[in-house]
Structure 1
């Protein structure tokens, strides 16, 4: 691979080499960050990524630094590929952290789009599920398994290393290496250093009686030729890993770079070290291992501790210090105790380490927490951080256990609030939000919570009630919290209470009343570092409020803006929410292809169960309307996520389940799904989404009592609203019940004003049927044709087939000007957005540049490019550009 990398460099490629080791698993993305550190400055992003990973973040702020850094690194690779091909090698992939493996998987899926060569080098053990999954994404022809050298190849290697044809004894010695090329080359070098090689008549032969008997022995023989100073310095280097920077070696060894240079030059000449771009590396991991294991365990642990302290004193990042502390404890075993310096370092730096590398923070925090009695300030603080670290690694059960245990003795109010934030998030993930509410109530009733912290717990309680869909209760708690926060001057609680009130107003269908609250909440949150997550939440919820007011274009623009802000902030939770909201808005607007792209499942996405449920629900509804057989998987996924949400009603999931039962010729069960949703939700918008279909199905199964009940609900929703899609509900539902075409046409007009093509088409279809029943075939044909055109634009094949069958029974055929079924392949199958993306690819733009130009996410652009390649049966961006050029000149 080194030879291939050198050849790639000679051919004009940029080559980046990442090396993993046994500790890499605890430090997300560190090998890739080190490898890309040498990326050209004008490619941008590296300093920003490092800064993003090292920002301290408190529990509950929603920032996933690793996921955000992954997106930035992917964008950086994309930019690097714009002008010059890139080769990225990850060595010892078996030790890589999960985030690095996941990022490689995404890069592998993008190689058709970029001039990018991704190489992973790994040993067969340890076997890991994520690496096996990565292997399944790679074609068999792209995988190469290395084997021991054959007898002929061993002879060729010995001849090359010795400089002449080997004799029988030398070949017999080499045969003992079992085809291991390192062993063979080190054996020949050891014999040469010992003067045990002689040349006679063009043949080189091993002489003497003493020869190295093992690979470890020949490596030790090489090291014996180093000076004592050189050997000591290389032991310090061995603490840092196979690859290391000279500056870090200077810190760990206590020497200056100038003092190190003669020793390092000696090691390079002796074949122990090699240059590795802007760093140094041991020529082989086994050489580093030999030096490392020469040290007694206790001495090695002490050296690691001293190296950690030296790095920390010189301002090294938290993850670099932790890389020294972790093996110190591993070497000491269970007897390792957190000393005073380490505890203080975790107090000062622990939250940054939790944000950057929670897996590395957990064992260190466990040691520190165990070393300090409960109730002592550092213990309580570090217990909070331990619970947060466990939550960030996805171990909700352990995080909840630590938080629950700490709540029994922690008395400091701000720690109590942090623990409850962590515990509530864990319980919500586990579908046990009721337990979190019970714990909050106990804390609110307890004597240790002062006014300010009580207010913050009330905010958390209101937020949890919102999550459970209990609108009125959430509103009452949020109002109480707002009053208390305003009185005490708590800006944080004031902002969150206002933000929760905007959500409650939206769930009540009173979006107009929420708009002033958004302005107030944003004014409070502006410039406050602890309210960055709230600002993103407000932008997303503002988009939701705008669509509830039928300002659909403005809502889509607000959601796109919220998505951009979340991406820039590195808040992947909010990014997932923004994309989910945008997908639902695009669904309502009839831009179904774009909606599916926004909500397409993506590796590494950070989404809550409610967001995943909504996304899969929207996808299921679209695909059911289109007659797509993959809808079943979307529906199953949505139901799986819904199981984690308790009894909360997700409107789009209810629609999907009902539609699925209807298409299975079970209208009774389809109606039962909608009626259950209507009876169990307090959310006005969820109710509004279910009403018309419930009336239609009730009439179909002959349950007119249910139909009349739903009509009354529709009238109640519209009673105090001037929003078009609310105003449309009574004439739509009453028109279905009374078979009144005038009412149905009135509903269609309101849906048109709201910008919602699907319910408009449904109302026109029903109006056409009502007119046909009255004998007005001409009027029915006109509305049937319009409905058919709307369904065609949506690609709603199931609705088209149903509508045709219904109107054929009245003797009405499809009009001559209606669009035919959409193409699945070829240029005509591309959506408007895909055509724009193809044009920008042809202009030479990278995915990040296209994303900025079209106000999309980089991930969304990548999905569009993948769809373009598939639909046009192309294999690269170059072929897309050629296709666009040919069409431009045709």
Structure 2
């Protein structure tokens, strides 16, 4: 109880002597019982003199006599000026300790919670002697608010001379991110757990910070019934916490400590065993691969990839590359090294490795490996795979033309089977399409289908139809593209080797539905593509479907949702064309909302990626660049940006509409008539509402025909395109205001009609421009636009964010909210992140608290 022999108080001295083995009245006695009575008497004396405090730490280790004394004191504490404090961990669980809870009421029991982030950083600042820098702050986050681990962390870093205070008073890391002494120190703090629990936790540490119980059962080869007591003990001790349907280490530092205390050789062997067990249990490929990864990352390069793992890699390479290309690169690189030269497997492994490098963004290395393998491989299937990777790499670096000669030689080789020849023809068709040679692309893709004849090859058939659909989409032949998807999707669906093609077809089908004004079908197709990409872990296609959703939502006027979709994943995880498209969508919205700095930031971020894809630039980025010049008061330059890309068969309808508008505004009648002629061809006899509206809009602009422009606005409204509707109404209002009859009534109606959809979009720049333009006509009325000036607090939330916050208050999870609002869980996560930032809070509970506070102030 913290009493030492050296004390001046006679009673305390007597208690101390008893505990150190003295005698009572010269006779042997129950020393602990005697000391307990003396202690109770001492507490009585202290309480007679005034209020007293008695603290017993680590009560879970107390002997039965101490528990009995604490129980007696607790029963009498309410009748005397005594504050009795006992601190104990939830484990080990003891019946005598449980009995204390019957004495101490629920209101008298406190459960210590982790420090909130500000308090944790304040503690680190005090311990380190300065404000933590970025790296120290990141490392401290691993302690998850545990003050003991934060203290151990800073002490270990200090002992290892890893901390340095810079001139600004920030504490930066200068050495190893995790000192060797730290895991040992933290591991020592876990000695309150049973050995069985620690053994299970070491196995769990192999699986990562979070893990599924099913995987733990698999890698330990134990039943859940055997593991349950250890897991319950770890959860009761606060070492493990629930994480959805899985479990996770509450503190990443604990997991790291348990992991690091195992010798490297033991860890590698255990990882290999875990990988084999998970593979045998048909666990998701990325989980198996994560267990193999330490084998190739160990400093001992003599550790070979087991033969079973090489076979497994070949079987699962396609989904693994889609889900985790960097992991696939590491494993395949070691597998290629360990496979005997000339082995039949070598070429296939090299092909998979080249594909993995390509998917991971290392295009140069992918091309080198594929080209080197082409000199040695003879298997036609592997040859086609290698040619595919080379063609993709050259296409991405603007060198598609180099592929045509090589592919031409390959397809001319004698003795090729029809399916191999058809596959090579598909690659040639894709290359022609990348070069903008659409007639050649369609011709060769059709030749590939003819080459197959009665032969069945789902790969060649599906990809040939994909090329034909892409050509149709590029030409704006949306109604012709739709049947191609309906033919191709059933062919590709269900084939593991064609998952990537299935995703592409679904994504392009959603874009086609959107172009045909079938918005519900478009969002449904995109949703199916997103679900498949999520399930298969195909990050590249997931970024593309998110981008497609951003474009659909932009056209539909759901701008806040569009911004959330394009912001879900980081640029470094996207294809350059997707990066350009996403930043283009965001810049368009910010320009229309008058947020010029934000729009320009998106253009700057897109610029290096646009350079990589050469002359072919995505439509949204072109529109955004044109808008930038309009904002700068340079409409001629804005028109030039559009006309530079409106060449050949490329039918970019939004660009055509803007080009006619700018040509008319700048007085370039010849350019306006030339572009309007192209629009007339597109709109002629088209059943698509927005295409008919496009034709009326351009014709109305050219002729100054207000009636035609009003009909265009009605068509755009029917198509669900509010920005285009507002633009047509604005043009109609101008035509009416400038009419010689001077009747301002119809002009005012059109003016008011334009402001309404602009206001619904928060298009403040358009509203301000419109009002300034009509002020000379004496037209000033119109709804007042509420400019979202507020950037913090409840009033700064967008309508979608308000809906999501309400669902958070109901207790719905991100997937449940996503299902309710037809959004992706990642998008919901982005919205919730924005909500937390705007409200200045840290958790979903805080959102509920802020919602209640907001409701109370508005009632």
Q: 1:406 aligns with which of 373, 377, 380?
A: 373
Q: Given the alignment, which residue of 657, 663, 672 partners 2:631? A: 663
Please say if residues 282 and 288 of structure 1, whose CA atoms lie closer than 8 Å, have aligned partners that are also in contact: no
1:420 equivalent to 2:387? Answer yes
What do residues 71-121 of structure 1 show as CA deviations (whole Å, max 9, x unaligned)? xxxxxxxxxxxxxx99999xxxxxxxxxxxxxxxxxx9xx99xxx99x99x
What is the SS of the residue equivalent to 2:645?
helix
Picking from 822, 834, 838, the partner of 1:867 is: 834
Query: Quick one: distance in 2 between partners of 1:617 and 1:248?
Result: 43
Structure 2 spans left out of the alignment, 5+ residues:
1-57, 62-86, 93-110, 160-178, 192-198, 231-238, 242-246
Asked whether 1:647 is paired with 2:618, we answer no
Offset, 1:373: 6.3
Q: Name the structure 2 match of 1:49.
A: none
Aligned residues of 2:187 and 2:258 also touching (Cα < 8 A): no
Q: Which of 674, 677, 702 is matched with 2:645 structurally?
A: 677
The question of 1:882 aligning with 2:852 is answered: yes
Matched, 1:714 2:679: yes
Equivalent residue in structure 2 for 1:844, among 806, 811, 835: 811
Which of 759, 763, 768 is 2:724 aligned to?
759
Structure 1 residues 540 and 130 mapped into 2: Cα distance closer, same or farther (>3 Å)? farther
When the two structures are superposed, what TM-score results if normalisation uses the length of structure 2?
A: 0.67
For these two proteins, the number of residue pairs brought into alignment is: 690
Between the aligned partners of 1:433 and 1:721, the Cα distance in structure 2 is 34
The residue number in structure 1 matching 2:364 is 397
Structure whose CA Rg is larger:
2
**Structure-2 change in CA distance of 1:141 and 1:282 (3 Å):** closer
In the alignment, structure 1 segments of 5+ residues that lack a partner are: 13-84, 90-107, 155-176, 190-232, 266-274
Determine whether 1:627 maps to 2:594: yes
Conserved? CA contact 1:731–1:746, under 8 Å: yes
Distance 1:808 1:355, change over 3 A: closer
| Conservation of the 8 A alpha-carbon contact between 1:509 and 1:683 | yes
Deviation (angstroms), 1:804: 0.9
Shift of 1:329: 7.7
Cα pair distance change 1:252/1:490, threshold 3 Å: closer
Say yes or no: does 1:482 pair with 2:449. yes
- Structure 1 residue 769, shift from structure 2 partner: 1.3
**Partner of 1:814: helix, strand, or coil?**
coil
Comparing 540-549 with 602-611, greater Cα deviation is found at 602-611
In structure 1, what is the Cα distance between the partners aligned to 2:591 and 2:254?
Answer: 59
Alpha-carbon contact 2:206-2:259 (below 8 Å) kept: no
Q: SS in structure 2 opposite 1:527?
A: coil
Q: Would you say the 8 A contact 2:184–2:257 is kept in 1?
A: no
> For 2:764, which of 790, 797, 804 is the aligned residue?
797
**Aligned residue in 1 for 2:491:** 524
Q: Tell me the CA shift for residue 375 of structure 1.
A: 4.7
- The answer to whether the Cα contact below 8 Å between 2:448 and 2:464 also exists between their aligned partners in 1 is yes
Match of 2:505 in 1: 538
Helix, strand or coil at the partner of 1:821: coil
- Residue 447 of structure 1, CA deviation: 4.1
- Give 1:494's match in structure 2, choosing from 461, 483, 491: 461
Tell me how far apart the structure 2 counterparts of residues 279 and 788 of structure 1 sit (CA, whole Å): 52
1:874–1:704 CA distance, 2 compared to 1 (3 A): same
Instruction: Name which of structure 1's ranges 512-521 and 526-535 shifts more when overlaid on structure 2.
Output: 526-535
The question of whether the paired residues in 2 share the 8 Å contact of 1:506 and 1:548 is answered with: no
In the other structure, the counterpart of 1:165 is none
Partner-residue secondary structure (3-state), 1:488 = coil
Give 2:566's aligned residue: 599
Match of 2:98 in 1: none
CA distance in structure 2 between the aligned counterparts of 1:10 and 1:792, rounded to whole angstroms = 57
Note closer, same or farther for the CA distance 1:130–1:796 as it changes in structure 2 (3 Å cut): same
1:381 and 2:348 correspond? yes
Where 1:610 maps in the other structure, the secondary structure is helix
Q: How does 1:287-302 map to 2 (within 5 A)?
A: 292=263
Partner of 2:694: 729
Distance of aligned partners of 1:824 and 1:464 in 2 relative to their CA distance in 1, 3 Å threshold: farther
The change in CA–CA distance for 1:282 and 1:134 in structure 2 (over 3 A counts) is closer
Contact 2:564 2:827 in 1 (8 A): yes
TM-score normalized by the length of structure 1: 0.65
Separation in 1, partners of 2:141, 2:599: 23
Whether contact under 8 Å (1:834, 1:864) holds in the other structure is yes
1:340–1:654 CA distance, 2 compared to 1 (3 A): closer
Q: 2:752 aligns with which of 781, 785, 796?
A: 785
Contact 1:304 1:328 in 2 (8 A): no
Kindly state the Cα deviation for residue 786 of structure 1 after the two structures are TM-superposed. 0.7
2:480 to 483, 505, 513: 513
Residue 858, structure 1, aligned to residue 828, structure 2: no
Sort the Cα spacing of 1:417 and 1:880 in 2 relative to 1 into closer, same or farther, 3 A: farther
Partners of 1:583 and 1:856 lie apart in 2 by 11
Mean alpha-carbon deviation: is it higher for 352-361 or for 438-447? 352-361
Report how far residue 541 of structure 1 moved.
2.1
Q: What SS does the corresponding residue of 2:646 show, helix, strand or coil? A: helix
- 8 Å contact kept, 1:695–1:733: yes
**1:824–1:871 CA contact under 8 A, matched in 2:** no
Contact 2:186 2:257 in 1 (8 A): no
Partner of 1:572: 539
Contact 1:572 1:606 in 2 (8 A): yes
| CA positional deviation for 1:335 | 7.0
For 1:131 and 1:448, how far apart are their aligned partners in 2?
Answer: 61
> How far is 1:657 from its partner?
0.8
CA distance in 2, matches of 1:851, 1:512: 31
Q: 1:180 to 1:587 in 2, by over 3 A?
A: closer
Equivalents in 1 of 2:519, 2:219: separation in Å?
59
Query: Aligned pair 1:702/2:667, yes or no?
Result: yes
Tell me whether 1:750 sits opposite 2:718 in the alignment.
no
- Residue from 705, 714, 738 that aligns with 1:740: 705
Deviation at 1:648, TM superposition (A): 1.4
Closer, same or farther in 2 for the Cα pair 1:391/1:11, shift >3 Å? Answer: farther
Q: State the Cα distance separating 1:784 from its structure 2 match.
A: 0.9
Distance 1:829 1:291 in 2: 50
State whether residues 246 and 279 of structure 1, in contact with CA within 8 Å, keep that contact through their aligned partners in structure 2.
Answer: no
Name which of structure 1's ranges 647-656 and 436-445 shifts more when overlaid on structure 2: 436-445
Match of 1:213 in 2: none
For 1:98-177, list aligned pairs within 5 A: none
Root-mean-square deviation (CA, aligned residues, Å) is: 5.5
How many angstroms apart in 2 are the aligned matches of 1:285 and 1:395? 31
Checking the alignment, whether the CA contact within 8 Å between 2:506 and 2:529 is kept in structure 1 is: yes
Q: Is the 8 A contact 2:560 2:800 kept in 1?
A: no
Preserved contact between residue 184 and residue 261 of structure 2 (Cα < 8 Å): no
Q: Which stretch shows the higher mean deviation, 130-139 or 726-735? A: 130-139
Please give the secondary structure, in 1, of the residue aligned with 2:780: coil
Matched, 1:590 2:557: yes
Q: Is residue 843–residue 881 contact of structure 1 (8 Å, CA) maintained in 2?
A: no
Query: C-alpha distance in 1, partners of 2:365/2:539?
Result: 23
Say if 1:247 and 1:257, in contact at 8 Å, map to a contact too.
Answer: no
Determine if contact 1:698/1:707 at 8 Å carries over to the other structure. Answer: yes
Contact residue 791 and residue 800 of structure 1 kept, 8 A: yes
Contact 1:792 1:820 in 2 (8 A): yes
* 1:507, distance to aligned residue in structure 2 (A): 2.4
Provide the C-alpha distance between the structure 1 equivalents of 2:493 and 2:460, rounded to a whole number of angstroms: 14
Deviates more, 1:243-252 or 1:408-417: 243-252
C-alpha distance in 1, partners of 2:248/2:781? 72
CA shift, 1:674, in A, is: 0.9
Corresponding position of 1:215: none
Kindly indicate whether the alpha-carbon contact (under 8 Å) linking 1:751 and 1:757 is maintained by their aligned counterparts in 2.
yes
Matches within 5 A, 1:118-517: 292=263, 362=329, 365-366=332-333, 368-370=335-337, 375-447=342-414, 449-467=416-434, 469-517=436-484
Deviation of 1:358 after TM superposition, in Å, equals: 5.6
For residues 745 and 590 of structure 2, the distance between their equivalents in structure 1, rounded to whole angstroms, comes to 32
1:6-17 residue pairs with structure 2 within 5 A?
A: 10=90
The change in CA–CA distance for 1:469 and 1:131 in structure 2 (over 3 A counts) is farther
